[in-house]
Chains A and B, each alone.
Chain A
Amino acid sequence: MSRWTGVKLWLLFALCLCLPAGVLAPVPAAAQEEAKPANVLLIYDSLALNTPAAGNVEALQRLLLSFGATVRTIGSDAYKPGMAAEFQKLITLCNTEDLCDAIAHETENYTGDWLHIGANPPEVIRGKLALQTETAARQSLKLSVGGLSEEHVFVHHLSFIAKGDGETFGRITSSDGAVDAPFGITAGGSAYVPYFEPGNLSEMALAYALRTWLGTEAPAQSYLLIRGITPFIDLDRLETLSKQLYDAGIPFLVSVSPLFNNTDYPAMKRYMAALQTVQSYNGSVLVNVPAPTSAGQEASILKEQLDGFLNHLADAGIAPLGMTGEVKRAQEQAGREAGFAFSGTTILFPNGAGTGLIPDQPEAVLPFASSPYSLKADALLQLSRGGKVWPAFPVELAVTLDWLDSEAKQEEVVQSITGSWLPFADFKSGMHSLSSSSHKAESLQGALLLDGKPADLQDQLAPAEEALQVKQPVQEESFRLLFSVQSRILIVLIVTTLMLFAVFLAVGYRLYKRKYYKSGGSL
């Protein structure tokens, strides 16, 4: 073989390696071209850890991604003069009053759309909105927006809009009447929201403000998403829950944990059977990307493992329509490409305990084609509303329900969901698609397709226990020939020797008798 032939073979080999990567190319890139998302720079002064505002940077980033914006998040320390000019829109988030001036000063020459959240709005915004603000301390507030309201929201310090010129959103009123101000105000690309803490109505109110500020007009749907589905939960109860929701006419999604090893074990087969049942009860399956490990994780390995699991799902007749995962995973390019590259549909959850936002993200996080904003069901259900009917939400919502270990609690939650009048939409009505190395799942106008064919939505009978048993792989026994020959040789040798011993015994017996037995027959 010539050297050139060798090079050609290597090239061919490299090409073969590249092909699967091409198949799994990130969908968001394509979506970006079509939707032309807003390009947003988010500057924050502090993560406000250990305060009620903790997590608001992360929630804001998730909200922006749900609105389809491209977001780059940096701390104010990392801001370099002129950086904001590269972005269409700027959001400054002030969690600490002292630091807000620094952000305002650094960005004072910015001319694009600007949303300021928190105290001390910059002069530019004050000017454009004819804004006057005041402060109040230790207040019990009532927040209301879009027909929803929440009382008894306690704040230590509050900056509120005393006067402004523009479209306002919601209201903030205090129980003692000292505060009665709009939640936010926007006019001509400038906007101001003085208060934002995740976990209360301000999260939804900010979504209203962002919707107007970003110019989003598409109607928003809400979906019910059940989190924490693993092979180790009570799968029978999952099937019961699916049936209950189906009977109540509630379409739903499940976020399922992938299984990377022992996929031939009964647990995996039972898992697949349960998910197939979920799908048959109008449940849509999303695959949860594991949170990044502290030790770091090889992106290529994760991608390969997830691909394997997605193929397993498809082989079992299950058509996953997207991915879920913690927002931190989306903030790292390697993790994003490894975990979320299979689909343009991704629902991001808040980061888990012990993991935080990546403080300064070196590059912008691209939006997904579809990324409903996840909001805990109990947070939503605690809100008051004027009538039974819920108002239209400002952003696509994934109302999440964690898997409950207690059957009684599950019953209680199901009752509250079914009686909530929340308008849950069928996820399959939207356009979603997911591609693994071997299969493609997609949904369109309520139809669920797997590899271009309608997916089987009939509930398959649970597999018999015998079928679930692990079939030990028939392993090629090594040295089979050697042992087979050895056994034959030994059997021949032993049998021959035994025959010889029989002769010896006969001879020995005669010798013994002749030698030791006396004529009378005794020894």
Chain B
Amino acid sequence: MTIPDILMVICVLCIWSLLLVNIALIIAGYFYYMRLEQEKPPELLGEAPFVSIMVPAHNEGKVIVKTVESLLALDYPHDLYEIIVINDNSSDNSSSLLGQLQEKYEGRNLIIINTDNITGGKGKSNALNIGFTRSRGELIAIYDADNTPERTALRYLVAEIVNDSKLGAVIGKFRTRNRDENLLTRFINIETLSFQWMAQAGRWKLFKLCTIPGTNFIMRRHIIEAIGGWDTKAIAEDTEISFRIYMMGYRIKFQPKSVTWEQEPQTLKVWFKQRTRWAKGNIYVIVKNIPLLFRPEARRIRFDILYFLAIYFLLVTSLLTSDLLLVLHALGYVHTTISGLSFYLWMLAITLFVAGTFVTLITEKGEMRPSNLGIILLMYVSYCQLWMLVAANGLYQYIKDVIFKREAKWYKTERF
């Protein structure tokens, strides 16, 4: 038995353990889906509360008008919600577009906050904190500037949170608006759907756990006040807020009937930068919250911390190590004597991936297409492997930031 042997065994155990966890999440998520199908959409009982919708925007001229108009068209009582657009140090024509919108919808609660490079330009968390100071709703909803929520989206979220006092936040579902643009957006569409069913529905079903996705969610005002707003250092503020909500004893629920459509990156470069930011941000939050593993009041989120730890550290390290060992073995630099997995087993595992992903896909309209099977298979050999690079790059960037004590930098996703 050699050191590479032992490393290989550890890697294989990590990889397969996580695979099994994800299988469990898919199954649980699917059961949740079947139960929801039999239920009616949540209804708002009693008096509707006032809601502040915040939309942080930085150079979003290409998409902001459509987003604000779709928010204005929500079927929630118009006098009971306000839209606060934080035009955060934009250098494009966002300001004038938003001004025109304000004039056009003069009677509506549409607030535009324009910041400059002194007050703003410091990332999404900072923008949200600015917007929050101007908000007056007892519930705060957040939408990204590239979103087109369905008319019922906000109502369903409000209905869920109002009907259950244990809920600190409710999250909806997001779909890919530009899914048919190219192969990358098709991959992203499949990823977002399967991610929601695996990571959100499954975790909600099994552990009553969810993570705020960054858009299309609602939360109680007093929670934000209690936690002192958004952490401006965190570039994955959603995961950070999620942990805080659970620490306060609340839950976050996933309501997939509340749907928003968002625009996803159309080029690999933009996608890579955006996902690296997510990965790095999540690593920041995980590392910061590792001590919570040992605190009793954080028992609810132990699974989440361990899950993220496993994904960003164990899985990435294991995949990279095992790949490196395989390459070195092939080149003759390293000799491992462990018996590898049989071809048969690998084929079964790939079939499982394709079938599992397809199962989650057919919950959505227009996705039950045979071509999707081919795309999932293609995704396995391309997109999934790219994710490994993203996670590794995120980890590398994070370590670099820690070593050189650099401040986290917000990357603005390019719009198309």
Q: Shortest Cβ distance from B76 into chain A, in angstroms?
A: 25
Interface flag for A493 (CB, 8 Å): yes
Q: CB-CB < 8 A to A523: which residues of B?
A: 365-366
User: SS class of chain A's interface: helix, strand, loop or mixed?
Assistant: helix
A494 to B345, CA, bound (A): 9
Q: CB-CB < 8 A to B355: which residues of A?
A: 498, 501-502, 505
Q: Are B365 and A501 in contact (CB under 8 A)?
A: no
Interface flag for B352 (CB, 8 Å): yes
Interface centre among A480, A493, A500, A501 (most CB of B within 10 A): A501
B359 nearest in chain A by CB position: A504
Interface flag for A438 (CB, 8 Å): no
Give B9-63 interface residues, CB cut-off 8 Å to A: 9, 12, 16, 20, 23, 27, 30, 34, 37
Q: Are A491 and B23 in contact (CB under 8 A)?
A: no
Q: Are B349 and A494 in contact (CB under 8 A)?
A: yes
A494 nearest in chain B by CB position: B348
A interface residues, how many (CB within 8 angstroms):
31
A121 to B272, CA, bound (A): 93
Q: Are B23 and A497 in contact (CB under 8 A)?
A: yes
A497 to B356, CA, bound (A): 9
B interface residues, how many (CB within 8 angstroms):
32
Q: Are A479 and B338 in contact (CB under 8 A)?
A: yes
Interface flag for B178 (CB, 8 Å): no
Q: Are B362 and A508 in contact (CB under 8 A)?
A: yes
Q: Choose, from A27-35, A58-66, A385-393, A470-478, the stretch at the interface.
A: A470-478
Q: CB-CB < 8 A to A504: which residues of B?
A: 30, 359
Q: Shortest Cβ distance from B7 into chain A, in angstroms?
A: 12
Q: Are A498 and B365 in contact (CB under 8 A)?
A: no
Q: CB-CB < 8 A to A429: which residues of B?
A: none
Interface flag for B342 (CB, 8 Å): yes
Q: Are B359 and A479 in contact (CB under 8 A)?
A: no
A477 to B37, CA, bound (A): 51
Interface flag for A11 (CB, 8 Å): no
Interface flag for A14 (CB, 8 Å): no
Q: Are B365 and A482 in contact (CB under 8 A)?
A: no
Q: Are A509 and B362 in contact (CB under 8 A)?
A: yes
Q: CB-CB < 8 A to B345: which residues of A?
A: 487, 490-491, 494
Q: Are A491 and B339 in contact (CB under 8 A)?
A: no
Interface flag for B150 (CB, 8 Å): no
Question: Contacting A478 at CB < 8 Å: which of B5, B359, B366?
Answer: B5
A504 nearest in chain B by CB position: B359
Interface flag for B371 (CB, 8 Å): no
A493 nearest in chain B by CB position: B20
Q: Are A501 and B359 in contact (CB under 8 A)?
A: yes
Question: Chain A interface (Cβ within 8 Å of chain B)?
Answer: 475-480, 482-484, 486-487, 490-491, 493-495, 497-498, 500-502, 504-505, 507-509, 511-512, 515-516, 523
What 10 A-B pairs are tightest by C-beta distance, nearest first? A478-B1, A501-B355, A508-B362, A494-B348, A504-B359, A477-B339, A516-B365, A483-B339, A478-B337, A494-B352
What are 5 residue pairs bridging A and B, where the CB atoms are less than 8 Å apart in the complex?
Answer: A479-B9, A493-B20, A494-B348, A505-B358, A516-B366
Known: A476-B337, A479-B9, A501-B352. 8 other contacts (CB 8 A): A478-B1, A479-B5, A494-B352, A497-B352, A505-B359, A511-B37, A512-B362, A512-B368
